[in-house]
């Protein structure tokens, strides 16, 4: 059986709430100061199942909202290459 894939560190101006629990904020600050990337961590099966469950729930709720309230939803859309961005669209 192969090792689980590494989870890449979320880059950006903001921290995800789970980063406060699972990541060292000093490590994050040093990484930014030294301009060194943070290596990903292995995702063990127990966390992988939790993540997969969360993604499935999100997909289900999103589809239900689009089906039942699609004309009332708005948000941002970005194409895969990042070239085209539509902000605050219905």
Task: Supply the pLDDT for residue 3.
Answer: 66
Kindly indicate the confidence band of residue 15, based on its pLDDT and cuts at 50, 70 and 90. Answer: confident
Residue 72 tokens read as 């009332």
DSSP strands (E only) in the chain: 6-7, 41-42, 75-78, 85-89
Distance CA 33, CA 31 (A): 6
Distance CA 78, CA 89 (A): 11
Is the pLDDT score of 8 beyond 80?
Answer: no
69-87 mean pLDDT? 85
Residue 34 tokens read as 């030294």
Task: Supply the pLDDT for residue 4.
Answer: 65
pLDDT tens per residue, range 43-76:
888 888 988 899 999 999 999 998 998 888 888 8
Task: Supply the pLDDT for residue 17.
Answer: 77
pLDDT tens per residue, range 21-35:
767 778 888 888 999
CB 76 within 8 A of CB 87: yes
């Amino acid at each position: 059986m192969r090792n689980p894939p590494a989870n890449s560190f979320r880059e950006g101006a903001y921290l995800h709430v789970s980063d406060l629990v699972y990541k060292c904020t000093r490590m994050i600050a040093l990484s930014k100061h030294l301009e060194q990337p943070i290596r990903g961590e292995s995702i063990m099966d127990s966390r992988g199942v939790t993540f997969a469950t969360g993604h499935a729930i999100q997909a289900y709720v999103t589809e239900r909202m689009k089906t039942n309230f699609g004309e009332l939803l708005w948000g941002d859309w970005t194409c895969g290459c990042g070239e085209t961005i539509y902000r605050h669209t219905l």
